[in-house]
Amino acid sequence: MNKLLASLMGFLNGFLALFFIAGGASLGVYLGQLADNGALGLILGLVGGLFLAVMVCGVFAVFISIRSELIAIRSFLATRS
């Protein structure tokens, strides 16, 4: 079950990043229309969503990478013993 959840998190990490970017863009367009500047809102929303996606999904990607490296190290040590 743990392996399934870990591989599923690796798969869903990309979709989570797309969700953050699209959510930031839609929020930027909405707030930009309130200020009568939808294009600027779109650009700022995309930048904000991209920043959030890099921060959150980047941390998840590091944890996923660490997990795979630890599995490789464990299998290497098991063959040497």
User: Which band of pLDDT confidence, cut at 50, 70 and 90, is reported for residue 35?
Assistant: confident
pLDDT at 38 over 90: no
Q: In this prediction, what percent of the chain has a pLDDT beyond 90?
A: 70
User: Which band of pLDDT confidence, cut at 50, 70 and 90, is reported for residue 80?
Assistant: confident
pLDDT at 6 over 90: no
Q: Spell out the domain ranges in the chain.
A: 2-80
| pLDDT average, residue stretch 48-72 | 94
Residue among 51, 60, 41, 1 nearest 21 (CA) = 51
Give every CB contact of residue 50 below 8 A, 6+ residues apart in sequence.
20, 21, 24
Are the C-beta atoms of residues 9 and 60 closer than 8 Å to each other? yes
| pLDDT score for 16 | 95
